[in-house]
Amino acid sequence: MSAAFRALLLEKNNDVFSVSLRDLTDTDLSQQAADGDVVVRIAHSTINYKDGLAIANKSPVVRKWPMVPGIDGAGVVESSTHAGFKPGDAVVLNGFGVGETHWGCLAGKARLKGDWLVPLPAKLSTRHAMAIGTAGYTAMLCVMALESQGVKPDGGEVLVTGAAGGVGSVAIALLSGLGYTVVASTGRAEEAPYLKQLGATDVIDRATLSAPGKPLQKERWAGVVDAVGSHTLANACAQTRYRGAVAACGLAQGMDFPSSVAPFILRGVRLIGVDSVMCPRSDRLIAWERLARELDLAKLDAMTTEIGLQDAIAWAPKILAGQVRGRLVVDVAA
């Protein structure tokens, strides 16, 4: 009989949803994640916005039942038939539909495809990797997108929206570390000292961006990292300077984009969509190598709250309500 491990399990029977902490086995993994060729003993996971939606049953994120949530995981390979990984290798998983269509990492073990994994950078622990998680990895992809469009540290202010959340917190730390002048937008005025500790030079109220605005507004931003969408993204584009760039990666305010073509054809603003889920492996490797090299781990620790696996159920609605500062790390053994 295979050894049991703990996992969060989401179930839906006759449209009745439930989430519970369960003991599962390798046999369960083999049956539910048969296409995985690497078994990873998960040390740490995290709760992202998408995980919050799944655990709280607030959106049709999960498309296969039952489901172990957790789109991120970090741990050590236990067994592998994949040529790129062997037992003992430390690895990181982000995205690829894990926790949606394939059993995820809010569990003691996960059976995953080796093509989805990247080596854990030597400088990072599994805890640090999950303090970064998809949110931080997405933030780095946004930084890379702005750089690719010629946004330089001496080019002017860079706006980060949803600043107190996971993407925003890591984006501020990364950008400030690279020498950019960062302005943070948040609806939580009490978080201003925290955001300035991460490297923001100024903090503005999200209300200045979240209401309908004119198609073209006074130019201010050389670049933008937006995790909010809707009117916030539209106003950010309208305020972006000539030939500036906006990296859009989230939809906390909404999926709509109530804007016009004016910023793009009159100011040459570039709007870059940033996807982390299916991002090519080559870009993932670059992003994780840069995170290990460029992210201040002291700042990362300052934005991180650690919880146990059993706590994830209670924290899920909090992340959806915008009540979580920075990043949540889940110690799956706790």
Could you give phi then psi for residue 214, rounded to 5 degrees?
-70, 150
In a domain, 261, yes or no: yes
209 domain-assigned = yes
pLDDT value of position 1: 46
Across the strands, what pairs with 99? none
Query: Is residue 283 in some structural domain?
Result: no
Residue 142 maps to a domain: yes
What was the pLDDT predicted at 2?
63
Both 140 and 269 in one domain: the answer is yes
User: What is the number of H-type helices and E-type strands within the chain?
Assistant: 11, 15
Q: Are residue 72 and residue 109 in the same domain, yes or no? A: yes
| DSSP H/E element including 281 | helix 281-294
Same structural domain for residues 95 and 168? no
Give yes or no for a contact between 40 and 114, defined as CB atoms under 8 angstroms apart.
no
Q: Are residues 313 and 264 in the same domain?
A: no
CATH number for position 321: 3.90.180.10
In a domain, 178, yes or no: yes
Query: Looking at the structure, do residues 72 and 149 belong to the same domain, yes or no?
Result: no
Indicate whether 35 and 151 sit together in one domain.
no
Residue 151 lies in a domain: yes
Q: What does the pLDDT profile of the chain (334 residues) look like in tens digits?
A: 467 999 999 999 988 999 999 999 999 999 998 899 999 999 999 999 899 999 999 988 999 999 999 999 999 999 999 999 999 999 999 999 999 999 999 999 999 999 999 999 999 999 999 999 999 999 999 999 999 999 999 999 999 999 999 999 999 999 999 999 999 999 999 999 999 999 999 999 999 999 999 999 999 999 999 999 999 999 999 999 999 999 999 998 999 999 999 999 999 999 999 999 999 999 999 999 999 999 999 999 999 999 999 999 999 999 988 899 999 999 999 8
Report the C-alpha gap between 94 and 24 in whole angstroms. Answer: 22
What DSSP letter does each residue of 160-212 carry, written as one string? ESSTTSHHHHHHHHHHHHTT-EEEEEES-GGGHHHHHHHT-SEEEETHHHHS-
166 and 46 in a single domain? The answer is no
- Are the beta carbons of 53 and 113 closer than 8 angstroms? no
Is 42:69 a contact under the CB 8 Å cutoff? no
Same domain flag for 113 and 152: no
Residue 282: inside a domain: no
Residues 255, 174 share a domain: yes
Tell me: do 185 and 259 sit in the same domain.
yes
Residue 260 lies in a domain: yes
> 78, 108, 107: which is closest to 91 by C-alpha?
78
Stated pTM of the model: 0.94
Confirm if 25 and 5 have CB atoms less than 8 A apart.
yes
The answer on 104 and 18 residing in a single domain is yes
At 91 the pLDDT is 98
Instruction: Provide the domain limits for residue 58.
Output: 5-120+303-331
In a shared domain, residues 247 and 325: no
How many domains in the chain? 2
CATH of the domain at 150: 3.40.50.720
